[in-house]
Amino acid sequence: MSDKTKTENLFTALIEKASLKQDVYKNTIEALGTLKEGMEDLVVQYNRLGSIEAKKIPVVFRDRSEFEAELKFAGDTLVFMMHSNIFEMPRDHEVMKTPYVKEDVSRSYCGIINIFNFLSDSFKYNRMNDIGYLIGRIFINKDMHYFIEGKREIGFLYKSFANAKMTKKMALEIIESAVMYTINFDLLTPPYDNIKEVTVQEFRAALDPMQIKTGKRLGFKFQADVD
């Protein structure tokens, strides 16, 4: 093979791989946009309840940036955050064993939208030591097909990668499942031994701006939350 042919092959490979990642990136951005629309729709539906109880517990959507959106409700905040890079699935991942991916390995390149759960007070009081939890990950490929890795309600949404396409209906289902999981994921009292001693400096710092570390499973391994 001549040097010219090698160089041409190099350029071809570069263009093909970059084009693939651009396509996946565009699809992931579009999927996040669909999720944002789903969150807006959910807020509209909730506000239609019009009950006194519903008014006391507002549900608020905020489009934070091109890569991020949040849904605030009942003391919790869900943050949907897209990673700006594209990833290939590991060789030992289950989707790599499917006929869909074996037929075309480029389908294993995915964009990722992470779903995090935070306490709303963590943002309200600027408690920088508080803990958020990754409760789900949405993977999007070049065909706009998706699959989900997640905890309980979210994990149950795992669809056939070969058939599941990200639509507005599916986006709403994902959001509702994330909200339901969060509602059932309660704040536990941290172990007594973790907080029985505190220095004067730590106590002063905790008064303003309330820096005592808080998380739904503080002091417990997140893995203990049974799937």
Angstrom distance (rounded) from CA 85 to CA 189? 37
Confidence check: pLDDT of 14 > 80:
yes
Listed as own residue / partner, the contacts of 19-24 with beta carbons closer than 8 Å and 24 or more positions apart are 20/106, 20/109, 20/142, 21/86, 21/109, 23/142, 24/86, 24/109, 24/110, 24/111, 24/140, 24/141, 24/142
Greater model confidence, 224 or 172? 172
Query: Could you tell me how far CA 108 lies from the centroid of its own chain?
Result: 19
Helix, coil or strand: residue 111: strand
Which are the contacts of 181, defined by CB distance < 8 A and separation ≥ 6? 117, 135, 136, 150, 151, 152, 153, 154
- Structure confidence by residue, pLDDT tens digits, 51-99: 899 899 999 999 999 999 999 998 999 999 999 999 999 999 989 999 9
Each domain of the chain, given as residue ranges in start order, spans 3-222
Q: Global pTM? A: 0.83
Angstrom distance (rounded) from CA 215 to CA 137? 20
CB 59 within 8 A of CB 43: yes
190 HSE (CA, 13 A, CB side): 13
